[in-house]
Amino acid sequence: MAKISRNINLGIIMSIVVFFNTYSIAATTEYNASPIISIQKWAKCDGISDDLDNLTKAINLAKNNSFTLEIDCPLKIKIGMDIAKPIFIESDTQIIFSKKGSIQVDNVFVPAFVIANSSNIILKNWKIIYSGGLPIDDKTNEYINNGKVITSSGHAPPANAFNNVTLSNWLMNKKNIKFNPDTHSFWSGTIDPAAIFYIKGDSANLTFQNTNLEVQINVSMDKFIPVAFALIPDYVSNQIVTTTTPIAKPYVEVPHDIIFDGISLDGYYFGWHGSTQHTTFKNINAYRYSVLQDINKNNIGGIGKWFPPPHLFYLNYQNYWDNSLYNKYLILTTIIDNGIREGGVEDQLGDQHIAGNANSLKIQANKSQINRYTSLRPDGFADVMSSQDLSFTHINATYDSSFINYLFPILRFPCKGELYTGYQNVTFNDMILKDLAASTTQPPISGNYDERNQGIHFNATIIS
């Protein structure tokens, strides 16, 4: 294989290249709550019985720094598609796990844990074992509300009902938000509510430290975690929401001032999905991943491909939002995506419906940096969407350009069209990209030549 070191230009190149090495990220607040009280005061702790109500009660009592809740035994909580079952974690709560602590969850189309307009939350040493699994057909035709089966049509009825009923009512009762007719909690689509941790709105000063999310041993890829962490906008507290309420600050907020430190994922589709500001992701290790499919590796992406190609990180925003909500001041550092692919491959030769590829990183961010990121996914390293003042340093990525029939490169700049805002001051330094295919017929980098692109600079080694 030939080794080629080169500078590669995308669009219009400015003579001055700006590098962004440091950002001031607001740290979460560390505080001490005492005493530490074991979950064994409430729960059965046998890992077999349903401890949902007991865990919910304990977490609710721990808020407002009443005590630090310690999970020091195996718990099993049964949620399924019941919109009344997700557990809300409120402000000023600390929950720690001992080595013997774990929680098994089975949520489907609704979250396991919800943080909505809440702050000063510290979650340490968590171990989550996922035992649910999304159906191949998102038209389940029903959901459950506190044990009662409700017939409902459309796509992912549990997700819609959770958002429009459970979450909206909780925000009205707990956060003094009045939703006028035809309004409800900010809708983010059917996939995000399936997250283990569903983080919404003006949630801030959150710490997730040394957290493991995994599937049961030897489980097949059709039972992988749909989304580990969803970061979704929502209406801020103490207001009346109407159909004309702007999607902008101060009416709407994205989760902010968050630290994810020491997160391990094994058996997942999406790691992180959504929008955030002033957030740090560091010391991340990701292992087995897949795309939604049945146990026989068919129906990849679900019936009708309703489930999109997932990523370790998919950090984006919608261009119709006010720019005050755009992703900014993000740090992703010391990330290792081990790229262990399970199951079948989307977009097989002859497929007329191209869904895309499940590369490691998909990012749209301003004034942000990615540093020391390793990706071993055969799908590719990254899609960089419209971004300004975004820097990549110390990147090491390998892929196989033949993996999906030479359709995709290792690095893409796919944004274009009417709402496209261009790339400005996007820099790549100390980057190694390596193609493991027997031959390279797809160029390693693809982009566009829009005149709004400015200050794009590469210092890359490409091995093909």
In this prediction, residue 5 has a pLDDT band, given cuts at 50, 70 and 90, of very low
> In which element (H, E) is residue 62 found?
helix 52-62
Question: How high is the mean pLDDT of the chain?
Answer: 90
In this prediction, residue 29 has a pLDDT band, given cuts at 50, 70 and 90, of low
> Are 302 and 263 in contact, with CB atoms under 8 Å apart?
no
- For the segment 244-250, the average pLDDT, to the nearest whole number, is 97
Q: Is 145 left (phi over 0), alpha (psi -120 to 50) or beta?
A: beta
Question: 226 preceded by cis ω (within 30°)?
Answer: no
Query: What is the model's pLDDT at position 380?
Result: 93
- Residue 131 within any structural domain of the chain: yes
- For the segment 52-74, the average pLDDT, to the nearest whole number, is 97
Mention every residue, 6+ apart, whose C-beta is less than 8 A from residue 195: 111, 112, 226, 227, 228, 229, 230, 270, 273
- pLDDT tens readout for residues 151-182: 999 999 999 999 999 999 999 999 999 999 99
Query: What is the model's pLDDT at position 228?
Result: 98
Sign of CA pseudo-dihedral 358, 359, 360, 365? negative
d(CA 388, CA 456): 10
Token pair belonging to 369: 């940096």
- For the segment 329-342, the average pLDDT, to the nearest whole number, is 97
- For the segment 277-293, the average pLDDT, to the nearest whole number, is 97
- Residue 45 within any structural domain of the chain: yes
d(CA 342, CA 328): 33
d(CA 362, CA 373): 13
Q: Do the strands 454-463 and 3-6 form a parallel or antiparallel pair, or are they unpaired?
A: antiparallel
Range of lowest pLDDT (56-65, 280-289, 341-350): 341-350
- pLDDT tens readout for residues 347-380: 655 555 566 789 999 999 999 999 999 999 999 9
Which residue type, as a one-letter code, is found at position 22? T
d(CA 362, CA 256): 19
- Residue 391 within any structural domain of the chain: yes
Query: Considering its fold, how many domains does the chain have in total?
Result: 1
- Residue 259 within any structural domain of the chain: yes
In this prediction, residue 345 has a pLDDT band, given cuts at 50, 70 and 90, of confident
- pLDDT tens readout for residues 404-460: 878 888 999 988 755 567 899 999 999 999 999 988 888 889 887 777 788 999 987
Residue 64 has pLDDT above 60, yes or no: yes
CA-wise closest residue to 270 among 360, 208, 206: 360
- Residue 161 within any structural domain of the chain: yes
d(CA 253, CA 87): 22
Distance of CA 155 to the CA centre of its chain: 21
Range of lowest pLDDT (50-54, 128-132, 340-344, 404-408): 404-408
Instruction: Answer with the residue of higher pLDDT: 211 or 305.
Output: 211
- pLDDT tens readout for residues 257-282: 999 999 999 999 999 999 999 999 99
> Are 363 and 315 in contact, with CB atoms under 8 Å apart?
yes
Range of lowest pLDDT (24-28, 101-105, 124-128, 240-244): 24-28
Looking up residue 194, the CATH number of its domain turns out to be 2.160.20
d(CA 183, CA 164): 8
Q: What percent of the chain has pLDDT over 90?
A: 77
- Residue 116 within any structural domain of the chain: yes
Residue 230 has pLDDT above 50, yes or no: yes
Query: What is the model's pLDDT at position 33?
Result: 56
- pLDDT tens readout for residues 137-148: 999 999 999 999
Q: Which domain holds residue 411?
A: 3-344+354-463
- Residue 349 within any structural domain of the chain: no
Range of lowest pLDDT (34-38, 84-88, 239-243, 332-336): 34-38
Neighbours of 275 (CB within 10 A): 24
Query: What is the model's pLDDT at position 315?
Result: 97
